Every structure is written in structure tokens, then in C-alpha cells.
Amino acid sequence: MRVFTGLFLRVRNEAELGAVLGHEFGHFESRHTLNFFKARRSSSDLLAWSALLTSMSGSYSVHRSFQDLELAVYGSLFRHSRDQERQADLLGLSYLNGSELRPQAAEAVWRTIIAETEASAKARGLRKPNFKAIAFTASHPPEAERANYLSQLADPAGASRDDGSTRYSEALSPWLPILLEDQVKLNDFGASDFLIENLAEAGWSADLWFARGELYRTRGAQRDYINAITFYESAIKANPSHALAFRGLGLSMIKTGRRTDGQAALSEYLKLKPDASDANMLKLLLPGEQAK
Amino acid sequence: MGRIGLLVALLIAIFTQAAEAHKLRAKGTPVIVADSKMTVTPTRDWNRLSTSPGKKAETWTIDGEQLNDLTFFAGIEAGQPLLKERSKKKDPLPKFTVGALLVDVPELLEGTYRTYKKIAAYRTTSTEPVKFLDRDGVKFTYEYTDEDQLTRKGEARAAIVDGRLYMITFDAPRLYYYNATVEEARAVMSSAAL
């Protein structure tokens, strides 16, 4: 049971975070790791003995039956994993139902994940993913199924509870720039754009505008630079001393033919951050240096 | 009996063809790298790995690529990634863009490493102008922690020639190996010529 920092970009409030952590704790409370180990052990014991008996029988039909048995046992093992995930989901939901947080958040987590996956696939020109299909080897139930039962079993009386979104965004805000940087640099344009807009539903901030600017600038098509310029300008409007926004603005302007404006923005960046690690490279783009 | 002999001969042919050895890059001998116009002259013996990380890339090592990794990128064109993508559609890498500036190159390597190695701990520690391939280039250093939980330091030099990127990167674990080999790597980078 591991939780990665990327989770913090995908949940929007304490209730949603609670749904995920409650799920993981549900695994722990029901001892799923131990039970799954026992299931694997029993399954492999059964197959080992069956393989021995099959090889002793010397008959093709027995061998074919053994192959059927293999499929059945493996299928049942994967099914066991999916059932454990369902149990953990429901146990986590029961913690939410009995808490002071809004239990409808559990479904919201899955709706966000479905939307992010779709946005990522769309930007890459891939086929729309199927959220209902269960692969033979799937360890988790499909996303749509989870969203459905979590919404049906959430306590309706809890719908008016607080979801802790203000506390959550306050706690997240010092970490948001780093987490956004890590996300944008993963080169998943659709997912990153979706997540930034998702977070911005609670209000655009300088950090979010800056991240969006970086996302478009690093994709680097001509119209991306033009969009990036607007995003960086919005970041600067929200925080006039956001040094890196000036850097991104300057580079985007230079690449769209607005050389003088770009140089002014880069100069502003170097004024705000004279010890920038790429200061000497950026100075080469400024007038005066080029004349040398 | 004849059929078995044929099968054995076929298997021998398959396995000896597939086993391509790493090649020696001897001290003092100028060599072409990455099937390109770029040549370098090593100041000590290096091994050139038989598998390359990309179509226009080549890797040299002394103790094994996890301990010292000198990679050459030669002639990367606009719209191309640095390394061979695992899946062009599902797992694309950042591309060298049209009109890219030298100051963008450290970001390109960072994005490539973060996406390809699926890591989040990467930091560019310095970026300076330098002469590379007898032209204006960029020299930058970085530090990252790979999936094997080992923190590596890196140094790279790059230049853009006729809209194509030429770059040499050197990565090694920050404990002992980086300092032990970085001077040899720098000598190779300084000797690079088109």
C-alpha cells in the first residue's frame, strides 16, 4: 500500500483524500496482503499437485482438463484481488460515512480519474479508454464500476457535510509548485492540462497560471507559445514578483518574434533572480551582450 | 538425423548473429559516433555498448552503464525525441522543437529523463555558455535519482548546428564514480568535432 505525491494534485479536498487513505487502511484492517498470499499459496499448491497427477496419467484428455484447471485457478486468483479491492473500497466508504467528512467525495475521486485518463488519451490521439471492461489479469475492478457503487452506498445524510476543501488547499499550497512542476515535466499534455484546470475550479492562482504556461511552452508549437504568453502574463498579474513567469514569458516572446518584449521580460527575471543558474545563458539573449 | 543437423545449424546461426559484442574505443584514436559526422578522440580506452538508446545516440562506458554512462546524441532534428520511445503514441518523449534555443536544451534533457525513467527527483544545477564543436554551445550539470534509488550527477555539453542538436552527456553515481571518471569524459567532450 503506497501513496504517491501525485495523489495530492488529483484530490481536491480532505474528504477525497480520506476516501483514498480509507481504502488503503481498509486493506490493512482486513489483512488483505496476508489473505492474498494464502490464496496464491493454495492455488499454486493445487496446480503443483494437479500437474504431478496429470503427468502420471499419460492421457491427452487429462492434460486438457489440467489446462482448463489452470485457467480457472488463475482467473479465480485475479478475481480474488478485485474482490479485495471492492472490499477495501466499501470499508473506506464506511469510514467516510461515519466521519464528519462528505462521503460523496469517494465517487468524485473516480470521476476525476476517469476524466483525467480520457483527457490524456484524447491529447495523444488514442482511442477513448473503456472504463467498464475487466481484463483477465485485472487486479482492480474497473473505474466505472467503482464510481457507481461508491455513489450508491454513500450515506445521503452526509451530503451536506463539510469536505474540508479550504483546509486542504491551504495545506497543499506550499507544495503545489513542486508537484505541478513534476506533473508538467512528465510530458503528458492532456492529463496535466486537465489537472491544472481541475485545481483551478477553486480559483486560478499565480502557481496554476505559471504551470499552465510551462506546460504549453514546453510543448513548443507556435500557437502554444502564444497561449503560454497569456498564461505567464496572468501569473505575473496575480504575483508581480513571480520570477520564473518572467523567464517563461521572455522565452515565449522571443520565439514568437517579439524579441524586444522578450528581452525586457528576461531582464526582469534576471533582476528578480540575479543568481539564477542559467543567468549567463540568458544574458546572451539580451541586447548589449550580442554586440560583444 | 539430417533434420536435427539442420535445426542445430539454424540455431547456431541465430544465436551467433544475435550476440553482437560491445566494441572497444581505443585511447587516442578518433572515432565517429552515432553514425554521424561527429568524431571524438578518447584519452583512455572506453567500451562502446552494442545497444544504443536511440537512432542517433550511442553510449560508452568503462565500468558498466550504471556506473559511468557517456552518451552521444548526434544530429537530432526538430520534432524528434532524444531516445527511442517505448511507444510513440502511448508513452511519447519530449521532442527537440523547431527554433529551440541553447537555453532550452537542459529542459529537454530534464523532460526526457523524467518521462523515460519515470522519476521526479531531477535538478539542473548549473547552465553556462561554452565552446562546443567550435561553436557557441551550452554546458550544464544536473543531479537526479533514478529508479534504482541511486543518485547520479551529470554533466553535458550541447550545440545546435544547422537546426540539429549535438550533445554529449556524462552520468555517474555521485559517490566515487562521478569524480573518478568526469575528467576523462570532459576530455572526450572537448575533443568532439564535426
Confidence label for A292 from pLDDT (cuts 50, 70 and 90): very low
Minimal Cα distance from B92: which residue of A?
A: A187
Q: Are B111 and B94 in contact (CB under 8 A)?
A: yes
- pLDDT above 60: residue A291: no
Residues of chain A positioned with their CB less than 8 A from the CB of B102 = 281
Residues of chain B positioned with their CB less than 8 A from the CB of A282 = 103
How many Cα atoms occupy the beta-carbon half-sphere of B169 within 13 Å?
Answer: 28
Confidence label for A1 from pLDDT (cuts 50, 70 and 90): confident
Minimal Cα distance from B103: which residue of A?
A: A281
For the entire predicted model, the pTM comes to: 0.89
Q: Does B79 touch chain A (CB under 8 A)?
A: no
The closest CB to that of A125, out of B89, B120, B138, belongs to: B89
Alpha helix stretches (DSSP H) within A98-187: 105-123, 143-153, 165-172, 176-184
Cell numbers 556524462 correspond to what residue? B170
The closest CB to that of A281, out of B89, B99, B127, belongs to: B127
Backbone angles phi, psi at B144, to 5 degrees: -150, 160
- pLDDT above 80: residue B149: yes
Give the gap in angstroms from C-alpha B158 to the nearest C-alpha of chain A.
Answer: 13
Q: Do B99 and A255 touch (CB under 8 A)?
A: yes
Q: Using one digit for the tens of pLDDT, what is the confidence trace for A268-286?
A: 999 999 999 999 999 999 9
Q: Do A280 and B89 touch (CB under 8 A)?
A: no
Residues of chain B positioned with their CB less than 8 A from the CB of A218 = 94, 107, 111
Say which amino acid occupies A79: R
Residues of chain B positioned with their CB less than 8 A from the CB of A280 = 127-129
Measured CA distances, B166 to A154, A192, B139, B181, B189 (Å): 57, 30, 12, 22, 11
List the one residue out of B111, B49, B33, B160 whose CA is nearest residue A219: B111
Q: What is the pLDDT of residue B19?
A: 54
Q: Do A220 and B120 touch (CB under 8 A)?
A: no
Q: Using one digit for the tens of pLDDT, what is the confidence trace for B53-111?
A: 999 999 999 999 999 999 999 999 999 999 999 999 999 999 999 989 999 999 999 99
